Amino acid sequence: MNPQSPTAYLKRFGKRYSIPDLHPHKLRHSFASVAITHGADIASVSEKLGHSDKSVTLRMYTHADAESIKRAGDIFRQAVENG
């Protein structure tokens, strides 16, 4: 397979379905962001992405959105309530 084949395919796919600038790296970023937002641990996501250092994953793929902030508060509250 030509190394540019996935990029070319995604470019055509994106054009057909009105998804601007679609390329493999956007899929990688989406995977990491969605996995972390929905509770996957950083170590596992970092391993899946092939990062040798988890701090790279933390720096690049974690975002404090409203849902994540609320979930952090809920986890702490439950831990305190359950002793």
- Segment 9-60, tens digit of pLDDT: 999 999 999 999 898 888 888 899 889 888 899 999 999 999 999 999 988 8
27-43 core/surface letters (b: 16 or more CB in 10 A; e: else): eeeeebbebbeeeeebe
Angle at 70 between CA 33 and CA 49, to 5 degrees: 15
Taking the whole predicted model, whether its pTM rises above 0.75 is answered as no
The ranges assigned to domains in the chain are 5-82
Phi and psi at 13, nearest 5°, equal -60, -45
